[in-house]
A and B are shown apart, each in its own frame.
Chain A
Amino acid sequence: MHELGITRSIVEIAERHAREQGAVRVISLTVQIGALSGVIAEAVEFAFEVCAQDSLLEGARLIIDAVPGRGRCRACGAESAMDRFTYACPHCDALALDCIQGEELRILELEVD
C-alpha cells in the first residue's frame, strides 16, 4: 500500500504550489498515473480524502489522467500497447520492447481559488 505515501506526496506538492501562488483552497487537481508506474489509481483515490484533511486540498476533486502503456520494438520498430511489463513484441516475438509511455507519475495541474 505504497499509494498512501504517494498520496501524501501528492497533497504535499500540491499544497506547496497552491501556497506559493497565494491560493486559499484547491478546487481540483489532475494527476497523471501510467499503467506501468506501479501505482493503483483506485488506491490513490481511496487515500486522497484522508490525506487531504486539514490541508488546502480538503474537499478538492481528484482527477486521474490514466496513461496507457506503449512500447516500441528495437528489432522491428513496431509500436504496440504495453499495459503490463512484457518485453515480447506482439509483431515479431523478439524480447525487445522499450517502454515509451506508461511510467508517468506526475501532478499536471491545480485549479485553485
Chain B
Amino acid sequence: MCIDCGCGPTDHHHHHHDHSHDHDHSHAQGKRTLRIEEDILAKNNRLAGNNRALFGAKGLFVLNLVSSPGSGKTSILERTLRDLAGNIAFAVLEGDQQTDQDAARIAATGVPVHQINTGAGCHLDAHMVGHGIEHFDLDALDILMIENVGNLVCPAAFDLGEDHKVAVLSVTEGEDKPIKYPNMFHAADLLLINKIDLLPYLDFDLDKCKAFARQVKPDIEILEVSCKSGAGMEGWYAWLAQGVSRKKT
C-alpha cells in the first residue's frame, strides 16, 4: 500500500487536495451550487510532483520518451545503453499496452528494466511511474529512461515528473507529424529525428520537418540520428551527459 496515492488492498482514500476549506460543512439538505474550481489532472500532477521531488533528491536525470509506435524508441535505447555502458548508470521503465517484449530487449543489454502494462490504457501516468521506480535502486542510477506507450496524442497530457519529454520521429512517418500532433511536440524539449540513414530512399523533407516542429515549439532542440548506422548518436550522448551533470550539481 502506498502512502502517497492511497492505493492498495484496503483502497483507503486519502483526501489530499489543494482547495481552501472555507465551504460550509453543515450538511444542510436542498439544492445548492458548490463552486469547486479543481484541476482535473490535480491528482496526477501531485503524484508527478512527488516523483520529481524524489528524482531531484537523488540527482537523477529522467526522460520521458514519446512517439508513435515504430519510430525506434526501443532501438535508440538499446544502442544508447550499449554504447554508454560503463559511463552512465541507466534504468528503464517500459510502457506498453501488452507484452514484455521491449523489456526483454532492454534486459539483454544488462540494464535494470521494469515493464508496465497499461492494458487498455493509452499512456503512462505519474501513479504507474511512482510504483514502477520501486523496482530500482535509485541511488545507484544516473539516468532513468521512461519509454511511454507508442501514441502521439495521450501521453502529452500526463506529467510523470520527468525532466524532459523527448519526442522521437522517424523519417518514414512524414514531415508533417509535428503540426498534425501539436500537443505532443509542444510538450517535448528535444526532438530526435530517427532513421536518417533512410533519407536517400524517401521524399522526407528534413528542413520542412524542423520548421513544423519549431512552429509548435519555437525553442525545441532537434538532433538527427540513426540508431542503426550510429550517425548523429554522439550529439544525443553529449546531450545526455550534459543533463546528468546538471542534475548532479
Residues of chain A having any CB pair with chain B under 8 Å? 1-2, 5-6, 9-10, 12-14, 16-18, 20-24, 27, 31, 36-39, 84-88, 95-96, 105-113
Top 10 A-B pairs ranked by shortest CB distance? A22-B27, A2-B154, A85-B182, A95-B218, A38-B183, A85-B216, A110-B34, A38-B157, A85-B186, A105-B40
- CB pair B157–A39 under 8 Å, yes or no, is yes
- CB pair B153–A2 under 8 Å, yes or no, is yes
- Secondary structure call for the A interface: mixed
User: What A residues does B218 contact at CB under 8 A?
Assistant: 87, 95-96
- CB pair A106–B34 under 8 Å, yes or no, is no
Most interface-central of A14, A18, A27, A85 (chain B CB within 10 A): A85
Residue from A24, A38, A88, A105 in contact with B153 in the complex, judged by beta carbons closer than 8 Å: A38
- CB pair B33–A9 under 8 Å, yes or no, is no
- CB pair B39–A106 under 8 Å, yes or no, is yes
Chain A residue nearest in CB terms to B27: A22
**B74 contacts partner chain A, Cβ-Cβ < 8 Å:** no
List residues 159-214 of chain B with CB under 8 A from any CB of chain A.
179, 182-183, 185-186, 214
* Count class of interface residues, chain B: 35 or more
User: What B residues does A107 contact at CB under 8 A?
Assistant: 36-38, 40
User: What B residues does A87 contact at CB under 8 A?
Assistant: 214-218
| A-B pairs with beta carbons under 8 A, tally | 107
User: What B residues does A113 contact at CB under 8 A?
Assistant: 29-31
User: What B residues does A17 contact at CB under 8 A?
Assistant: 34, 36, 38
- CB pair A110–B216 under 8 Å, yes or no, is no
User: What A residues does B157 contact at CB under 8 A?
Assistant: 2, 6, 37-39
User: What B residues does A10 contact at CB under 8 A?
Assistant: 40
- CB pair A111–B32 under 8 Å, yes or no, is yes
User: What A residues does B36 contact at CB under 8 A?
Assistant: 13-14, 17, 107-110
- CB pair B40–A112 under 8 Å, yes or no, is no
User: What B residues does A86 contact at CB under 8 A?
Assistant: 179, 182, 215-216
User: What B residues does A38 contact at CB under 8 A?
Assistant: 153, 156-157, 183
The minimal Cβ–Cβ distance linking B148 to chain A, given in whole angstroms, is 12
The minimal Cβ–Cβ distance linking A96 to chain B, given in whole angstroms, is 7
List residues 8-53 of chain B with CB under 8 A from any CB of chain A.
15, 17, 23-44
User: What A residues does B38 contact at CB under 8 A?
Assistant: 13, 17, 106-107
Question: Apart from A27-B31, A109-B36, what 20 extra A-B contacts exist at CB < 8 Å?
Answer: A5-B125, A6-B157, A9-B44, A13-B36, A13-B42, A14-B36, A16-B17, A17-B36, A17-B38, A21-B23, A21-B24, A23-B34, A36-B183, A85-B183, A85-B185, A87-B215, A95-B215, A96-B218, A110-B36, A111-B33
The minimal Cβ–Cβ distance linking A75 to chain B, given in whole angstroms, is 11
The minimal Cβ–Cβ distance linking B125 to chain A, given in whole angstroms, is 7
**B123 contacts partner chain A, Cβ-Cβ < 8 Å:** yes
**B158 contacts partner chain A, Cβ-Cβ < 8 Å:** yes
Chain B residue nearest in CB terms to A95: B218
User: What B residues does A39 contact at CB under 8 A?
Assistant: 157
